[in-house]
Structure 1
Amino acid sequence: MSDYYDRTEDAKYTRVYKEQTPDILKAFAEFDQAVFATEGREIPLRYRELIALAVGLTTQCVYCIDGHSRRAVAAGATEAELAETAWVATAIRAGGGYAHGRLGFKLSGAADHQH
């Protein structure tokens, strides 16, 4: 992971978005700020950050894992909550494999060939 990920250096590449698609970047930044607003949301920020961390773990996005784990702790999350978040993400990812495995059986037609 460290061979391609550099928190400080990678941020410099945001300039491409700024130069090529500044309107979309602005809209995305405003959207993200609304989603993770400190106040005015039903789900407390700590939990929203833990949800974001779980999604990052599930999609295996190192940037999301880095940012949202730090932001979750800054919002008051404990190591126990980080651990449970990782297990929730793991269970969902494994459950997806289980459920889609059934779809594989269905779509394979193998059951049609059994006597």
Structure 2
Amino acid sequence: MTEHYYDPEDRAYTSVYKEQTPDILSAFAAFDGAVFAAEGREIPLKYRELIALGVALATQCVYCIDAHSNKAKAAGASEAELAEAAWVSTAIRAGGGFAHGRLAFKLAGDQHQH
């Protein structure tokens, strides 16, 4: 048997949360439902799903990438919008490396005058 980290059948393991921490699972589900409510938010659902996709790509969570790319499409996002969300995420990750590189110089005691 080949073991891997992503399998759509992994959702079955939600039962552990249901059995062991049902109160927290319920609170999380309510929170998630409020964040991604179809109506009543200032940012339209399509854009919230594109934001979620960008974050999922940055954190590299395959489960979130799967869910939010499909939810963004269902909310009306085009393939071009999915592509741009991916590039925004890529730019932010690259920018993070650049900015934290400066922190590395600072923490390493670089004598460069600023």
The secondary structure found in structure 1 opposite 2:43 is: coil
2:68 corresponds to 1:72:
no
- TM-aligned CA deviation for residue 110 of structure 1: 2.8
Query: Which structure features the higher share of helix residues?
Result: 1
In structure 1, how many angstroms separate the alpha carbons of the residues matched to 2:19 and 2:68?
26
Cα-Cα RMSD: 1.5
Answering whether residue 16 of structure 2 is matched by residue 5 of structure 1, we say no
Alignment partner of 2:39: what SS?
coil
Report Cα offsets for 1:39-88 as digits up to 9, x if no partner.
Answer: 00000000000000000000000011000000000000000000000000
Identity %: 75
Amino acid at match of 2:7: D
Q: Distance in 1 between matches of 2:60 and 2:74?
A: 21
Q: Distance in 1 between the 2:4 and 2:85 partners? A: 26
Gap runs ≥5 in structure 2: none
User: What are structure 1's unaligned runs of at least 5 residues?
Assistant: none
Q: Matched residues in 2 for 1:108 and 1:43: separation?
A: 42
TM-score (norm 2): 0.94
Q: Which runs of 4 or more aligned residues in structure 1 lie more than 6 Å from their structure 2 counterparts after TM superposition?
A: none
| 1:18 equivalent in structure 2 | 18
